[in-house]
Amino acid sequence: MADGAVARGGSRAGVREAARMGVSGRAHALPHAGAIQRAFGRHSLDGVEAHTDAAAVDASRSLRAEAYTVGPKVAFASSRPTLHTAAHEAAHVIQQRAGLRPAGGVGIVGDALERHADAVADAVVGGSSAEGVLDRLVGGAGGQDGGGAQSVQRKAVIGPNYDPAQRGSDARNAVIDDDVMRRFEDDDELDRFARGDKLEVAGEMPDKTWIRMDEFTVLGEYHTNQLAPGIIKALGTEAFRYEGFSEYDDGLVAGDDALRESLDESREKFFQKHGIDPDDGDHSAEHVLPKFARCLPDVESIALKQGREDAENAIKPGAAMGEGYSLNKALISSFVGVLKYLRSYENLGTKSPLENTANEYHEDVVASIAVLEVAADNDVVPDLSKVGMATGAGMAAMKAAFRSEARKTVGLEWMFSRYVFKMGLKIGGLSNQSLTNEANENDYLRDKSMFMKILSAKKMNERLFVIGDAHRSKLSSKLRSKGIRSMRDKDYLEEEAKNNEFVDYDAAGISRGVFNVVDQLVVDGGLGRLLVSKKVPGSNYTYNQAASNALQGQAITLPALPQHCSYVANSGGTINGVVLTRTTGTLDVSVVFQHGGIRKEGWVF
């Protein structure tokens, strides 16, 4: 196809550079050149270069293309391109020689040049002359070079083995063997992908559920059961935000490498643990000030409880910190961040509450950090009752300073503004997420910070925003008023799984769910495929009689079927698991879809 879409936000300049690199290697003759030249007539292929080396393959895939053309140079994603693909790209060469180039130098899938190249390739594959088809657009220019800057045109691809040019023709039965293809939501989505229209992000979960996210979505997660990392990895998107990553003021920490390293540590560990490539993007879902303001009252509560003899095992000093998420662990970890962040305000000359607190309690802050880091190194619960800044005047000063700065950051300095914001939240029915009422009140500052970030991320055309489900639930009414989709991560995955189950294999589209299976069937080490025709009510079937005869007494191993599909032997054969033994008579086996009272026979072989 003519150029594809500028994929995933890529610039036209970036497309041209990627294309140039792909055709910089050693060239050879155009595949199928003889057949194509005969069909092209006076439109000469002289000077056309083909590139199928690693650079060409990588460039084609980076452009999400089966092939692309730059002037007389054609790069392919396969060392053995189909006749249709080669003829399609050859048509682009003739177009460019005649001075026909897409606007901006990078074409769009589905434009006039793309449709023309498809028509030319259809004629070549059909054994007809393509000369007249070429003449209709390029006239009698033949092999003349139209001059001027070279453009980039590419052929879109759906999955590694799917050629969009084959859609609607019998030939597609032999080329569609890609599991991904059958997981498109419907034919319209498949067609949009083929045209290069944005589907944004889509991918496959480890359980083979095909998920897509073609609109901005806020997901709520339970921190004790994190599903979002798997979703982010499957979607392959870098346009995501995650609550675990808080934004801090770059200017504030610019001269403190140790502080920056400490604040970034949890984020980097997360990426490494889950195999996500963040590409150094902004993935913050809130500012640190509201987060720190919220944690301090609860940290003080833990410290006071630890000072009593009946301290709970979960907060008993010296107890193992343990694996996984817990509120206590999160609070203690945040407290370390609070103290290090506070230190960065020392001697700035701003006379802010944070700077005044940092200067006044400098020695206590340094000593408290040291105690907490020793406990962290030993993976044990620290004794907060002996950490100077965890109680008393130091804690009181910190709580007031962080609360004041957090309110300024989110624009809720006045009591009335906080009241109005809270009135718009959905608060009823939520389980208590804090140890103290003071922390609960400060948690609304986090809600506002997240809401501001969500609106900003949507405006920047980002895709996924993940926060704790308690925050998502509180913000649900506000998100709905802004037309923003939000749901629990679990509900999102269940919805996508349902789409896989009921859309991919519905009555009208059952064939899409099984023709990839048929294409895999190879009889007796390569005697031939048995499938010849689709079974349609009232139609006649054509069988590969030679292959059928060769199966006398042979065992055939059948490939696995999609969900809710099964093999049915209509005559002359028996099925045992996925092994069919040919006995006598005509081999007649159907792939049947049956679910929810619907039964459809899709294919016969």
Closest of 372, 436, 446 to residue 410, by C-alpha: 446
Q: Which residue is listed with tokens 């498809």?
A: 118
Q: Which two tokens stand for residue 573?
A: 């054969």
Secondary structure class of 286 (helix, strand, coil): strand
Residue 476 pLDDT? 94
Could you give the angle at which helices 392-410 and 288-306 cross, rounded to 10 degrees?
A: 160
What own/partner pairs with CB < 8 Å and gap ≥ 24 does 123-127 have?
123/39, 124/35, 124/36, 124/39, 124/40, 124/83, 124/84, 124/87, 125/83, 125/84, 125/87, 125/171
- Around Cβ 281, how many Cβ atoms within 10 Å? 13
Do residues 573 and 552 make contact, with C-beta atoms less than 8 angstroms apart?
no
Residue 359 pLDDT? 92
How far apart CA 278 and CA 272 sit, in angstroms, is 10
Q: Which residue is listed with tokens 């084959």?
A: 166
How far apart CA 450 and CA 448 sit, in angstroms, is 5
Round the CA-based radius of gyration of the chain to a whole number and report it: 32
Residue 347 pLDDT? 87
Residue 472 pLDDT? 94
pLDDT < 50 regions, the chain: 1-12, 104-105, 107-110, 140-149, 154-185, 187, 190, 193-196, 253-254, 501-556, 571-587, 602-605
DSSP 41-105: TTS--TT-EEE-SHHHHHHHHHTTEEEEEETTEEEESSSS--HHHHHHHHHHHHHHHTT---GGG
Residue 592 pLDDT? 62
Q: Which residue is listed with tokens 């945040």?
A: 334
Phi, psi of 178 (to 5 degrees): -105, 120
Q: What is the 3-state secondary structure (H, E, C) of 338-350?
A: HHHHHHCCCCCCC
How far apart CA 386 and CA 366 sit, in angstroms, is 14
**Pairing outcome for strands 464-468 and 565-571:** unpaired
Residue 429 pLDDT? 63
Strand order in the sheet with 284-287: 284-287, 240-247, 464-468, 217-221, 485-488
- Around Cβ 197, how many Cβ atoms within 10 Å? 15
Residue 560 pLDDT? 57
DSSP character at residue 149: -
Q: How far apart are the first and last CA of the chain?
A: 33
**Pairing outcome for strands 598-604 and 65-70:** unpaired
DSSP 305-318: HHTSTT--GGG-TT
DSSP character at residue 106: B
Residue 595 pLDDT? 59
Closest of 493, 559, 506 to residue 210, by C-alpha: 493
